[in-house]
Each structure stands twice: as C-alpha cells, then as structure tokens.
Amino acid sequence: QLQFVESGGGLVQPGGSLRLSCKASGGTLDNGPIGWFRQAPGKEREFVAGISRNGGRTYYADSVKGRLIISRDNTRNTVYLRMNSLKPEDTAVYYCAAHRLRPLVIPRAPTEYPYWGQGTQVTVSS
C-alpha cells in the first residue's frame, strides 16, 4: 500500500517561507499525478497544487498562484511544496495525495485521490 509522510510544517510569520515535503513509501511515486490539499478549521478540504507524473505540468489554485511552487523528484519518491509570501489565510493542515490513474487534466477534487498522508500543520501568524 502506498503511504505518504508529510513534513516541513510549522509556525511562520506572515511573509515568511516554508518548504513542505511528501515522502512516499510502499511503492513508487511515478504512477500518476500528485496533489497538495489543505484544510483549515471549519472549512472544507481544498485543492492547492497538483503536478503530473513526470513533473511536466502543474496546476495551482487561484489563491496561491505566484506564491507556491510544486515539484517532484521521482528518484527520491518525494514531492515538494515551496511556500513563499505566506499569509494568515494559508493556515491549515496540508496533505499530499496520489492519484492512481493518469488523467489528462490534473484532478482538483479530493475524492479523486485514493492515497493520502497524515498531514502537516502550517500556521501563519504574527
């Protein structure tokens, strides 16, 4: 069974930066697209960024465009989310998830992803 462990979260001031990592085990990471999601208290889980199986295509939510960069290193079974210019509204638990197929368009709905990590907390506060 494919498993993920997210890391890199923490407390950061507004305008600061973090890099989240998603390490896969129990299988290879190159079977399909990977998505980053987040869930803030009292809100639904939402799509943040996605990347195709070979890293050639990416897609970002409008709220994070220009501030977050997703990348992947399939040789290390790791996906990254570089987060710049963080805002208080970015505060959430961040999850990575894997799609088991190879869709033409990177899915944005959480229900499209069967494999999930446990999440890492990101708190942006002064």
Read off the pLDDT band of 100 (50, 70, 90). Answer: confident
User: What per-residue confidence (pLDDT) applies to 39?
Assistant: 98
Tokens of residue 66, six digits:
């220009």
Half-sphere exposure of 51 (CA within 13 A, CB side): 22
Q: Are the beta carbons of 80 and 36 closer than 8 angstroms? A: no
Read off the pLDDT band of 54 (50, 70, 90). Answer: confident
Mean pLDDT over 33-62 rounds to 95
Mean pLDDT of all residues belonging to the chain: 94
Read off the pLDDT band of 5 (50, 70, 90). Answer: very high
